Structure 1
């Protein structure tokens, strides 16, 4: 029986949702059963064998629906394989470097420390002028963040394949 995986996400303009969908597609190709759901619509994580939660990062914060899902479901996630991802930095280069030492918000740090995720990935984000309201365009211009799509789909795919490798049952080879 295939292992069941939840990919829950918090996204404002759809870029993080697309990352979550890509992760879900890769896991499905690896013969895992996957639900990709907005964190505000995701149900009880206890029914899953593995949980992946991701969020867009705005002004240093995870989206409220993703943060609340993680906090509210800490007890149900405890002991399950957990992976976290964040998306948001725009610009060329390593997203971790672009985030300049970003850390999870203080209210999430103790929860994350107790849950001990197997990995915390940071992926480049996407910011299209046509999607952004005046306030977000203004904020991006103040910090000189470039507009464009800076998601690296190869890195996202490789990360999802690594997760699939950890979740899929190991096949023992028979030696003669």
Structure 2
């Protein structure tokens, strides 16, 4: 299983590593930055994550989905996005929904992840233009590490449960693309 990530400053990579740790009991997990050297055909399941910049996934993540579209269409895929601070009210929740809709439109046709949460990340306002700083303040955002590790762990556990069920079903059906997990 690939836990692939596109990270701008490391926060998404660290979340991907945490997710991978939660999947280790049900799959042989490889954590890799998404780039042209990652071959989707080498994996039977995917968790793909990206930082969100300007309401979009980073180009490396979108390029991986495009490059792997034929493989990903026939294998289980979960996605996650990493934004700024956790939504605190109706406006920020609406913005998250709009971001997810925009991100989903950038996915190849037919790719529908089994789940796609948005996790809070690290907000660094140094280097942002004034309008960017004002935007964060208007939404009630504050700089700092906003990652919710228990939420990441819960989601990884949910993915592990779903993957284990798929693997059990796959062990009974030779046509299923998933290989049994190690030790099964």
Taking structure 2 as the reference length, what is the TM-score of the superposition? 0.76
Equivalent of 2:151 in 131, 135, 155? 155
Aligned equivalent of 2:10: 14
Larger fraction in helix: 2
| Match runs of 1:70-85 below 5 Å | 70-85=65-80
Structure 2: which 5+ runs fail to align? 170-184
C-alpha distance in structure 2 between counterparts of 1:36 and 1:9, whole Å: 8
Q: CA deviation at 1:125?
A: 1.3
C-alpha distance in structure 1 between counterparts of 2:116 and 2:86, whole Å: 20
Q: Kindly indicate whether the alpha-carbon contact (under 8 Å) linking 1:91 and 1:98 is maintained by their aligned counterparts in 2.
A: no
Query: How many pairs were matched up?
Result: 162
1:49-71 per-position Cα deviation (integer Å, ceiling 9, x unaligned): 21111110011111111111111
C-alpha distance in structure 2 between counterparts of 1:110 and 1:162, whole Å: 25
Q: Kindly indicate whether the alpha-carbon contact (under 8 Å) linking 2:52 and 2:81 is maintained by their aligned counterparts in 1.
A: yes
- RMSD, aligned CA: 2.6
Shift in alpha-carbon separation, 1:18–1:41, aligned structure 2, 3 A: farther
Runs of 4+ in 1 over 4 A off after TM superposition: 104-108
Equivalent of 1:124 in 113, 120, 124? 120
Structure 1: which 5+ runs fail to align? 172-176
C-alpha distance in structure 1 between counterparts of 2:143 and 2:30, whole Å: 30
Q: State the SS of the aligned residue for 1:111.
A: coil
Aligned equivalent of 1:141: 133
Taking structure 1 as the reference length, what is the TM-score of the superposition? 0.79
